[in-house]
Structure formats: structure tokens, C-alpha cells
Amino acid sequence: MKKIAIHVREDGHKRVIEALEDLYYTISLAGEIYEITVFTPDENLDDLIEKIRSALDLRYNDNMIEVSTPDFVISSLLERAEKKHVEKEEKTPVEKLLDSIRGYAELDLEKLALTSIAGLIALSGLLLDNPVIIIGAMLLSPIIGPIYGFTVYVALGMPRESLRCLGVLAALLLGVFILSAIATFLISTVIPLALTDEIASRLVANPIYTLMAVLLGFAAVLAFNRGISEVIAGVAIAAAIIPPTVVTGLVLVLEPVSLISSALLVAGQIVGLIAGALVAVTLLKVEPREARDKAVAKRYLIRSVVLIVLLFALLLWLTWLMWR
């Protein structure tokens, strides 16, 4: 429990009182200085201080905020406030969240190596028609990072960082595509290759796959945010996007006529995963602290959602044309 004592000049105390809306406080006047006292649970301190700072003009020496820890406080109102906070939905602090995703906007050799190795192992599983090998390869892929980072940066209204995450995602998938095509070409010069059932199942762009990608993106980000390992949470996302990308590179060599449908499947999976991840971070109430930043983030989120919906509709239309 924290005690906050706010000293404010008479001409500014109304703004402070407005910032303390819905909170219990006491107020006294000594000369021209108001002293407003409010108690708050420790968990609410940062948010409340930010609200008070925005309402208090600290350019005046008389205005100040004093925070202390009382030895003992008995109040039914404060007990209800603490209970309400415990029952309130947990929200990740913005600073901690930004620290955890900062690396997802950076492309490095480790990400490229892990994703490339995962793609090559998936390629062997596809050629051997072995789903166990394909799923096992997904344990190596860090593909969930850029997708999670993109959606969080969108929710926080940080377009530059979100676009960098998309760039990392595009680079990783492009690397898998090129490496798969090269590996398939080299293998085909030594032994004859045929399209297995695992490959054939990823040559048809089906709207159901895109809807499944939405659910996978939602579930994976939700699990990742709740503390589940990135490796475990990322398997579902990697399994939805890495094998189709590998197949796209493979058919470029073995069956170019199927390249368009395979590429549509990859595009649908990407859009679906991002859409599901955006829904997840929205439900988790990932947002900036400042009211001004919240407004900017909301506009950017709405634009991103509109773009995703348009891409989703376009892919469904193209898929329908392929099915005719």
C-alpha cells in the first residue's frame, strides 16, 4: 500500500481532482496550497502517478508529489480496491513487453540459420512423406517472434518497428523458399523426386486453411504471452507457414504449374496468422500508457485491421477463382 500526498496551488487543484476520479481522497487547504492525500495498492502506483503528473504543473515549486509507505492502514475501501485489482485481468507492463520483443525486429544470422535448417529438415520430411519429421523441424524455427512483435508494435502504435518485424518475417520466409528450391534442384539431379501426399496436401489453397491459421495465430500468441516457451508456442505457427513455404520452393523446380496455388496458400497462412495474433493482443489489452499515444495506436490498429480484412477478402476471392 502506498500513500500519495499531492501539494498543489489553488489554481491547479481542480485538474488533480479530475485525475483522481473514482478514487477516495482527502483534501485540506493550508494558505494557498491544497494537500490531497490518496492511498493506492502498490500495483496501481505507476499508472496513478502518471495520471497525477499529467494534471500537475510541476514548473511551480509549490506543486509536488510525495509518495510514502505507511506502516499500517485499516480501511474497508482500500481492501475492496486491492481485491478489485487482484480480480482485474492481468496486464503486461509496456516497458517489460517492449524489452521482450525488441529482438524480434532485428534480422541476425542465428534466426536465418535456425529457420533455414528447419526448412531443410521439413523438406526432407515432405520428400519422405513423413509428418513426424516435418513437425519436429518446427521446433527449431523462430518464426513466431516477428509475427508476435509485429502485432504488439501495431497495438502500441509503433509503425516503424512493426514494419521491421514484417521485413524480418519476409526475409526468413524468402530464405526458406530459395534454399528449398536450390536443395530440390540439387537432389533432383541425383535421384528422381515425386510429389508425395504431404506435398500434394499443400498445393491446394483452401479457405479453411486460412481460417485455421487465424485460430493458430490467436492461440499461439495467447499462450506465448502467458509465459509458455517460445519454442512450444511457436510450433503451431511454424507448422502452418514453414512447410507451405518449402513446398512453394519445391514445386518451382518439380511442378511450376502449381506455383501460384502454393503461393496463395502461403499468403493465406501469413494473413491468417497475423489476423489471429492481432485479435489476441487486442483482447490482452496491449496498449500505451499515455492517452495521446493510445489515440495514435488505436488509429494505426484500425488501419492495420482494415488492411488485413481487405487482404483476407482478396485471398478468398483468388482462392475461389482457383477452385472454379
3-state secondary structure of 21: coil
| pTM > 0.75: yes or no | no
pLDDT values of the chain reduced to their tens digit, one per residue, 324 residues: 788 888 888 888 888 888 887 777 788 888 888 898 888 777 777 888 888 888 888 888 888 888 888 776 666 665 665 555 544 444 445 667 777 788 888 998 999 999 999 999 999 999 999 999 998 888 888 888 899 899 999 988 888 999 999 999 999 999 999 999 999 999 999 999 889 999 998 888 777 888 888 998 898 888 877 767 666 777 878 888 999 999 999 999 999 998 988 999 999 999 999 999 999 888 888 888 777 778 888 888 889 889 988 998 888 888 777 766
Nearest to 250 by CA among 172, 178, 192, 169: 178
Task: Give the 3-state secondary structure of residue 164.
Answer: helix
pLDDT computed for residue 87 by the predictor: 46
Residue in the structure block whose three cell numbers are 514484417 = 166
Protein fold of 2-87: Alpha-Beta Plaits (3.30.70)
pLDDT of residue 319: 76
What pLDDT is stored for residue 211 in this prediction? 86
CATH topology of 2-87 equal to that of 94-323?
no
Packing angle of the helix pair 94-101, 144-155 (nearest 10 deg): 150
Distance CA 195, CA 229 (A): 34
Q: What are phi and psi of 321, to 5 degrees?
A: -65, -35
Helix and strand element counts for the chain (H, E): 13, 4
Of the candidates 308, 301, 302, 305, the one whose C-alpha atom is nearest the C-alpha of residue 154 is 301
- DSSP notation for 54-106: HHS-TTSTT-EEEEE--S----HHHHHHHHHHHHSPP---HHHHHHHHGGGG-
3-class DSSP state for residue 252? helix
Phi-psi label, residue 31: left if phi above 0, alpha if psi -120 to 50, beta otherwise: left
> Which residue type is seen at 117?
I
Q: How high is the pLDDT of residue 89? A: 46
**Sheet hosting strand 64-68, strand order edge to edge:** 25-30, 33-40, 2-9, 64-68
Q: Where are the domains of the chain?
A: 2-87, 94-323
Q: What is the DSSP letter of 204?
A: S
CB atoms closer than 10 angstroms to residue 267 = 19
- Fold type of domain 94-323: Glycerol uptake facilitator protein (1.20.1080)
* Residue 203 pLDDT: 87
Q: Is residue 257 helix, strand or coil?
A: helix
